Amino acid sequence: MSESVAPAPTRGALRIGDEAPNFIGRSTEGMVELADYRGRWLVFFSHPGDFTPVCTSEFTGFASAIDDFDALDCSLLGHSVDSLFSHLAWIRALHDELGVTVTFPIIEDPTLEIARAYGMVSAEAPNAATVRAVYVIDPDGIVRAITWYPLSVGRSVAEILRMVAALRATHGNDAIAPEGWQPGESLLANPSFTRSDVLAGKSATSWFFQPKAD
């Protein structure tokens, strides 16, 4: 019997800037509570199902990048509606057949309580077969980024790493990250929306497009 506990579903899908709903549940690393991750960044990601080809490729990628996430002071937490027994059998198969050791927790959610609390699925959905979502949660428990992918397309672990790095670089900093930004590159200064600043700019674009050192 599942021991997962989640709050009542939120109204609609979770949005950027919302507090991430807390939950407690069984995982491959023992009981896990979302609140335990306060003080660190967290990538909380769901997958449609264990023993599926795209999910297997994704978990291989996440497991290989665990040190890179740790260097960003970021933890990983996997989730699917499969049971804990299925999770354990799957990571054993990944270990024995592919040489992949999954050290981050994978939480079970057979009743869809967590999935519904996060707005991954509607209250009427019979299953979570289409869920491939990522929530980047900051050290204060606030959702800072959300991505959704379809069943047929795998996520890019490299892009998730880049997104976490960009969120950390701009968090509490008066700067924003441009397209394709990588750690060590210049950020962009937040523009000033006053006529005097616009006219005082050295060029017609300097008031809204000004590089800023990371």
The string of pLDDT tens digits covering residues 146-197 is: 999 988 999 999 999 999 999 999 998 889 999 999 999 999 999 888 888 8
Q: How many domains does the chain contain in total?
A: 2
Rounded to whole angstroms, the maximal C-alpha distance in the chain is 67
Q: Let me know whether 104 and 57 are in one domain.
A: yes
The string of pLDDT tens digits covering residues 104-136 is: 999 999 888 898 899 887 666 666 666 789 999
Q: Let me know whether 187 and 96 are in one domain.
A: no
Q: Which residues are catalytic?
A: 55
Q: Let me know whether 118 and 28 are in one domain.
A: yes
Residues composing the chain:
214
Q: Let me know whether 107 and 187 are in one domain.
A: no
Q: Let me know whether 45 and 151 are in one domain.
A: yes
Domain assignment of residue 53, given as a range: 24-155
pTM, two decimal places? 0.89
Residue that is last in its domain, among 155, 185, 204? 155
Sign of the Cα pseudo-torsion (49, 154, 42, 100, in order) = positive
For residue 40, the domain's CATH number is: 3.40.30.10
Among candidates 14, 22, 36, which has minimal Cα distance to 105? Answer: 36
Q: Are 122 and 14 a contacting pair, CB within 8 Å?
A: no
